[in-house]
Structure 1
Amino acid sequence: MSATTKDLTKGNEYSTILAFALPIFLSQLFQQLYNTADSLIVSHFLGTDALAAVSSSGTLIFLLVSFFNGTAMGAGIVISRYFGANDGDKVSKAIHTNIVFGLICGILLTIVGVAFTPTFLVWMKTDPDVLDGAIEYFRYYFLGSIGLVMYNICRSIMNALGDSQRPLYYLIFSSLLNIALDVLFIGGFGWGVGSAAIATVISQVASVVLCMIHLFKKGKIYSLSMSKMKIDSQMLGEIIKYGLPSGVQNSVIAFANVIVQTNINSFGKYATAAYGTHAKIEGFVFLPIMSFNMATTTFVSQNLGAKEYARAKKGATFGIISAVIFAQLVGVLSYIFADVLVALFDDSAEVIKYGVLQAHTVTPFYFLLAFSHAVAAVCRGAGKAFVPMFVMIAVWCVLRVLYIELVVYFKGGLNLIYLAYPLTWFISSVIYFIYYKFSDWVHGFDNPPKKLFARKSA
């Protein structure tokens, strides 16, 4: 086994998942730190209006990027399954197909993002005081969105092969570069809010370059070759089969969150700034959730590929429990120190008031958020991505939007809008618990269907 790949089908399940999840956690931590530094620097040098401009539609970026990231998840599932089955030829085809498909998706995202940014921001009821700054920031951001898409694809490839360390090294470098460029452009040169997006784009492109240099190294199971850089129709079909549900799921959830943010934006720039600030703080809660989820998905997928069904089940349970415990620990800290954390970004009384209100409404329920995401990760790793797609669309999109519309209709306050999150987390958790506890596929790892991943015979 190569030093830059890791076979997750051997060794103690718990230590294997922890060892794989730790570099992912650190990668996510550095990514969150430089996203946070971005907002801190903007707020410190440019003020509340600039912070509101950057925060005005963070959910918009997630909406446009999340679909393509879902296909990266699908590719990761396909790659890790064939890697677990020791099928190097199919691993190579899946990787090359994913790279080419990702480039196409990145170009499309750039065109759509740049062209329609003003329309999106106006539709989201962005405060007129910050609209121009928001347009400038997000247009620059989308100009470099191909870097964001390609980094996530490269990371999914390396993670699928059991290598969670190299993405960490590359992200540390790009994070430090992003912070340095933020300080230089905004603090040194005195440039406006758009320069923060430029700094982010440059750092993302740098991380992609490092990833590609590594993936083009010869003699590895995943070595890229220009002669193989084409789309294999069978592999693309598998990637879409497992990635499309995740992409659709992410997109519709993001759309629901856009609706939430649109209604929050209508409360004014202080509410908008507070919402964006809370999103940065909440990002730290997602660190253990996403770390264990990514590790669990890869672990389950590799072990199912190797037909280690009991091992996959044991690792899945451990991943779920770990994500729930660590997420709620961070949630408790976020609740206790809510005012201090919000004040780090903006010390205006109004922003702190709204930020603390949101924190105290949602943080006690982060264990529900973690549980829903964790079971969804297990489903994806088992090739059952349609299950979380249907649950999330029904609950996190349809019910969440209906609830928001009712709150707005009856002229409810911000606290009731914030309540949309824990309410839908609770409902999805109940559904996931029933599915995880009683469905055949979850507790049928020991006696799986014979054609769980098999191709149909001609």
Structure 2
Amino acid sequence: MSFKNIFTIIKESLNGENHDFTQGSIRRAVFLLAVPMILELSLESVFALVDMFFVGKLGENAIASVGLTESVIALVYSIAMGLSTAAGAVVARRVGEKDIEGAAHASAQSLIIAFIISAILTVTGMVYAGDILGMMGASKEVIADGTIFTRIMFGGSLVIILLFLVNGIFRGAGNAAMAMKSLWIASFVNIILCPVLIHFFGLKGAAMATVTGRTSGVLYQCYHLVKGNGIVKFKVPHFGFDAVVIKNIINIAWPATLQFIIASGSWIVVARLVAETGGTAASAGYQIAIRNVIFFILPAWGLSNAAATLVGQNLGAKQVHRAEKSVNITAKYNAVFMGIVMLVFLFFSGHIIRFFTTDAEVIKNGVRALRTFGSAYIFYGIGMVMTQALNGAGDTRTPTWINFVCFWLLQIPLAWYLAKPLNMHASGAFLSIPIAETILALAAWYFFRRGKWKEVKV
């Protein structure tokens, strides 16, 4: 593929044109979907890095507050990603079947579920914000400084869920460029507001900027779902309560949600172990490292989402071989990308961590964490593609079991054993992560090769 052709494909992918991904070149299809998905999720990771950059100037208590809050609010992200996975799988299958009205109806039903769940999360998070930080092992100073930040972040649960969910709908329909643009808007608003609001309101200003940014992205999404010219377009009848469709979405969504909760839950435990065994400096270094890990994982997740869309649409079009080939090609691309990132983390981690803080102790812990996490980055990339391929087919239960075994039966006990009985402290907790992720990648690859996902009905 020549440079000119690559440039043409990139330009075409950003225009947001409607494409039929069930025919033509698979490599071209991967690029058309992956480019905007990578840019979309890169901008999502900018949220985390921008907050950490400006919050880092407020001291280690502020860094720990943001990090611990994000560790818990990852549960909200898990629910959002679970719903997004389910909606994307159903929409992709309907689009592959050329049932556009069915795709729009299923999308509207998923929004009904989102509103109900977000109401519960918002009330719970706002009322128990201080207790949540305490549960995470935060010091009294961190709880005093960070409770308002946590309360505001949970108050924005609805826009977090909607931003993920609606983008999942766009991706399932093959309109990855629209999902990308909504994240661009949300991120740019956050980048502009974050330093301003932190200057005037302190730590809570970071939360205010993030929620405002996400809200702007959601408003943009809603406009295009109602007034836009994409494949999925809402009409009032689509929101009529449909128990059958809602049940179908929930049946796919709950294992997917549990899948992400299991993963994020294990990270919460690791974050607590780091705070307990390493203190505030280790916790702050860990949180900075994790933000950078997320920054580079999310683009790889974008490639994985491309595989999910291609699997769903091609299964809908009864082209099973094409679906499988799409996953294998995407996995190769992701392995190359993550291999490059692995080298960056191994050799330039000091420069990366120093960009966020000048505290020597925080830098030492951050560098150690980043190098440890980066040692298995190639496996992260392969595992993500295989897992998302299974999710895209509607087989959300297999990845859930894989996550349960690798994270809760392996990573959590291993992190505890290395950190405490073996007295490796925070370094032991760090080490458990690449070990668990490597085994997860191998397991996901095995179950994908078995091929039972080809028989799942959505």
Same fold (TM over 0.5): yes
1:342 pairs with one of 353, 366, 370: 353
Per the alignment, residue 6 of structure 2 pairs with none
Inter-partner Cα distance in structure 1 for 2:127 and 2:317: 46
Higher helix fraction: Structure 1 or Structure 2?
2
Local SS of the residue matching 1:57: helix
Per the alignment, residue 90 of structure 1 pairs with 102
Amino acid corresponding to residue 301 of structure 2 in structure 1: M
Per the alignment, residue 276 of structure 1 pairs with 287
Local SS of the residue matching 2:140: coil
Contact 1:65 1:109 in 2 (8 A): no
Amino acid corresponding to residue 260 of structure 2 in structure 1: N
**Superposition deviation, residue 131 in structure 1:** 1.6
**Superposition deviation, residue 219 in structure 1:** 6.7
Per the alignment, residue 159 of structure 2 pairs with 147
CA deviations 1:232-289 (Å, max 9, x no partner) are 1121122122221110011112111111111111122111111110111101221332
Amino acid corresponding to residue 213 of structure 1 in structure 2: Y
Per the alignment, residue 90 of structure 2 pairs with 78
Contact 1:70 1:244 in 2 (8 A): yes
Inter-partner Cα distance in structure 2 for 1:338 and 1:219: 44
Change (3 A) 1:310 1:195: same
Local SS of the residue matching 2:141: coil
**Superposition deviation, residue 221 in structure 1:** 4.5
Q: Which moved more, 1:208-217 or 1:225-234?
A: 225-234
Per the alignment, residue 41 of structure 2 pairs with 28
Change (3 A) 1:15 1:243: same
Per the alignment, residue 445 of structure 1 pairs with none
Per the alignment, residue 208 of structure 2 pairs with 198
Contact 1:175 1:203 in 2 (8 A): yes
- Map 1:10-159 onto structure 2 (within 5 A): 10-44=23-57, 46-159=58-171
Whether 1:175 and 2:187 are equivalent positions in the alignment is yes
CA deviations 1:371-415 (Å, max 9, x no partner) are 222111111122221111101111112211111232323433221
1:375 pairs with one of 381, 386, 389: 386
Local SS of the residue matching 1:347: coil
Contact 1:27 1:168 in 2 (8 A): yes
Inter-partner Cα distance in structure 2 for 1:220 and 1:166: 9
Contact 1:101 1:231 in 2 (8 A): no
Contact 2:76 2:161 in 1 (8 A): no
Q: Which moved more, 1:109-118 or 1:159-168?
A: 109-118
- The unaligned stretches of length 5 or more in structure 2 are 1-14
Contact 2:92 2:309 in 1 (8 A): yes
Q: Which moved more, 1:286-295 or 1:196-205?
A: 286-295
**Superposition deviation, residue 36 in structure 1:** 0.8
Contact 1:288 1:326 in 2 (8 A): no
Local SS of the residue matching 2:128: helix
- How many residue pairs match? The answer is 442
Contact 1:288 1:323 in 2 (8 A): no
TM-score by length of 1: 0.92
Per the alignment, residue 249 of structure 1 pairs with 259
Amino acid corresponding to residue 47 of structure 1 in structure 2: G
**Superposition deviation, residue 418 in structure 1:** 0.6
1:420 pairs with one of 404, 429, 432: 432
Runs ≥4 in structure 1, deviation > 6 angstroms? none
Contact 1:9 1:84 in 2 (8 A): yes
Inter-partner Cα distance in structure 2 for 1:372 and 1:353: 29
Inter-partner Cα distance in structure 1 for 2:47 and 2:40: 11
Contact 2:80 2:165 in 1 (8 A): no
Inter-partner Cα distance in structure 2 for 1:440 and 1:196: 45
Per the alignment, residue 453 of structure 1 pairs with 457
Inter-partner Cα distance in structure 2 for 1:362 and 1:416: 12
Inter-partner Cα distance in structure 2 for 1:185 and 1:304: 47
- The unaligned stretches of length 5 or more in structure 1 are 443-447
Contact 1:7 1:161 in 2 (8 A): no
CA deviations 1:80-120 (Å, max 9, x no partner) are 10111011232122011011111212222211211222222
Contact 1:8 1:303 in 2 (8 A): yes
Whether 1:8 and 2:21 are equivalent positions in the alignment is yes
**Superposition deviation, residue 453 in structure 1:** 2.1
Inter-partner Cα distance in structure 1 for 2:428 and 2:229: 57
TM-score by length of 2: 0.92
**Superposition deviation, residue 218 in structure 1:** 6.7
CA RMSD of superposed structures (Å): 1.8
- Map 1:305-320 onto structure 2 (within 5 A): 305-320=316-331
Q: Percent identity, please.
A: 23
Per the alignment, residue 416 of structure 2 pairs with 405
CA deviations 1:404-431 (Å, max 9, x no partner) are 2323234332211111111111222232
Inter-partner Cα distance in structure 1 for 2:109 and 2:69: 32
Q: Which moved more, 1:324-333 or 1:404-413?
A: 404-413
Inter-partner Cα distance in structure 2 for 1:330 and 1:221: 35
